[in-house]
Amino acid sequence: MNWIAKLKRLHRELLSINRRNIEYVYACNPRQYYPLADDKVLTKQWLEQLNIPVAETYMIVESFADIRRAIRTLKQQEKAVIKPSRGRGGGGIMLVVNKEGNLFSPSGKPLTDQLIRQHLADIIFGNYSFGLSDRAIIEEFIIPHEVFRNIYPEGVPDVRVIVYYGIPVLSMVRIPTDRSGGKANLHQGAMGVAIDMSTGTMLKGLWNGEYVSKHPDTEKQIEGVKLPFWNEVLEISKKIGTHSPLKYLGIDIVLSERKPVVMEINVRPGLEIQNINRKGLRGLLRRSKPKCDGKNRL
Amino acid sequence: MSIPHIVAILLTTFTSVIIVLKFLVWDYRFEFLLPEKGYNLTVNMHFWEGEEGVRISTWLPSNDVRQHVDNISFENMGIPIHIEPTEYGTRIVWEGVPPSASGKVSYTAVLRLKAIRYALPDSVPIKQYTTPTLKEYLNETPTIQFNHPVIVAIYDSLHPKVNNAIAHLKRFYEYVSGFENRPFKGTTDAVTAALLEEASCNGKSRLLVALLRRSGIPSRLVGGIVLTSGRKRTAHQWVEVFIDGVWVPVDPTNNHFAYLPENYLKLYVGDQPLFSFKKGIGFRYEFEIQHITLPNRFFAKHLTEHPFNAYKAWKAFQENGIPLSLLTIVLMLPVGAVVISIFRNVVGMQTFGTFLPALIAAASVTTGLTYGLIGFLTVITLVSILYYPLDKWHITHNPRMSIMMVAVVSALLTSGWLAQQFDIKDITYLALFPVAVLTITAERMAQTIMEDGLKKALWVTVQTAFVIVVVYEIMTIKSLQSFFLAFPELYLVLVAIGLVLGRWTGIRLFEYWRFRHLLKNL
Residues 6 or more apart whose Cβ sits within 8 Å of residue A58:
A73, A74, A77, A80, A138, A139, A140
Please check whether residue A90 touches B, CB under 8 A: no
- Asked whether residue B251 carries a pLDDT value surpassing 90, the answer given is yes
In which band, very low, low, confident or very high, does the pLDDT at A297 lie, cut at 50, 70 and 90?
A: very low
The reply to whether residue B396 touches residue A125, judged by beta carbons under 8 angstroms, is: yes
Measure the N-to-C terminal CA separation of chain A; round to a whole number of Å. Answer: 46
For chain B, give the mean pLDDT. 86
How far is A6 from chain B, CA to nearest CA, in Å?
6
For B261-282, the pLDDT digits (tens) are 999 999 999 998 999 988 888 8
Instruction: State ipTM.
Output: 0.84
For B171-196, the pLDDT digits (tens) are 999 988 888 888 777 788 888 888 88
**Residues 160-199, chain A: which have Cβ within 8 Å of B?**
187-188
For B154-170, the pLDDT digits (tens) are 888 888 888 898 999 99
Q: Is B58 left (phi over 0), alpha (psi -120 to 50) or beta?
A: beta
Please check whether residue B515 is in contact with residue A274, taking contact to mean a CB–CB distance below 8 angstroms. Answer: yes
- Rounded to two decimals, the pTM is 0.73
For B386-434, the pLDDT digits (tens) are 888 887 887 777 788 888 888 888 887 887 787 777 766 665 566 666 7
Q: Given CA atoms B350, B353, B354, B355 in this order, what sign does their dihedral have?
A: negative
Write down the pLDDT at residue B305.
Answer: 75
- Asked whether residue B384 carries a pLDDT value surpassing 60, the answer given is yes
For A49-72, the pLDDT digits (tens) are 999 999 999 999 998 888 889 888
**Residues 253-292, chain A: which have Cβ within 8 Å of B?**
274-275, 278-280
Write down the pLDDT at residue B212.
Answer: 92
Please check whether residue A125 touches B, CB under 8 A: yes
Kindly state the average pLDDT of the residues A207-236: 93
- Asked whether residue A9 carries a pLDDT value surpassing 80, the answer given is yes
Please give the C-alpha separations between residue B59 and each of A22, A159, B253, B267, B428, in angstroms, as whole numbers.
67, 83, 22, 6, 36
Q: Quick one: what percent of chain A has pLDDT higher than 70?
A: 95
**Alpha-carbon span A161 to B180, nearest angstrom:** 83
Cβ neighbours of B514 in A, within 8 Å: 275
The reply to whether residue A89 touches residue B451, judged by beta carbons under 8 angstroms, is: yes
Write down the pLDDT at residue A1.
Answer: 60
For B46-71, the pLDDT digits (tens) are 998 888 888 999 999 999 989 999 88
Which DSSP string do the residues of B48-115 spell out, in sequence order?
ES-TT-EEEEEEE----SSEEEEEEEEE-TT--EEEEEETTEEEEEEEE--SSSSEEEEEEEEEEE--
Q: Is B511 left (phi over 0), alpha (psi -120 to 50) or beta?
A: alpha
Cβ neighbours of B522 in A, within 8 Å: 6, 9-10, 13, 278-280
Domain ranges (residues) in chain A: 11-52+144-288, 57-140
The reply to whether residue A11 touches residue B394, judged by beta carbons under 8 angstroms, is: no
Q: Quick one: what percent of chain B has pLDDT higher than 70?
A: 98
Please check whether residue B506 touches A, CB under 8 A: yes
Residues 6 or more apart whose Cβ sits within 8 Å of residue B183:
B200
For chain A, give the mean pLDDT. 89
Question: Which of A13, A18, A127 has the CB atom closest to B508's CB atom?
Answer: A18
How far is B409 from chain A, CA to nearest CA, in Å?
22
Please check whether residue A148 is in contact with residue A188, taking contact to mean a CB–CB distance below 8 angstroms. Answer: no
**Which DSSP symbol is given to A155?**
S
Q: What does CATH list as the number for A57-140?
A: 3.30.1490
Kindly state the average pLDDT of the residues A243-258: 93
In which band, very low, low, confident or very high, does the pLDDT at A298 lie, cut at 50, 70 and 90?
A: very low
Kindly state the average pLDDT of the residues B26-46: 84
Please check whether residue A212 touches B, CB under 8 A: no
For B6-17, the pLDDT digits (tens) are 999 999 999 999
Q: Give which of B345, B390, B396, B401 to mutate to test A binding, by max A Cβ within 10 Å.
A: B396
The reply to whether residue A125 touches residue B397, judged by beta carbons under 8 angstroms, is: yes
Among A130-144, B285-299, B366-380, B452-466, where is mean pLDDT lowest? B366-380
**For B216-257, where are the alpha helices, taking DSSP H only?**
none
Q: Is A100 left (phi over 0), alpha (psi -120 to 50) or beta?
A: left
Write down the pLDDT at residue A294.
Answer: 52
Question: Which domains occur in chain B, in start order?
Answer: 37-115+279-294 (2.60.40.2250), 122-227+234-259 (3.10.620.30), 302-521 (no CATH)
Kindly state the average pLDDT of the residues A105-124: 88
Partnered with residue A138 across adjacent β-strands are A59, A82
Q: A11-52+144-288: what fold?
A: D-amino Acid Aminotransferase; Chain A, domain 1 (3.30.470)
Please check whether residue B455 touches A, CB under 8 A: no
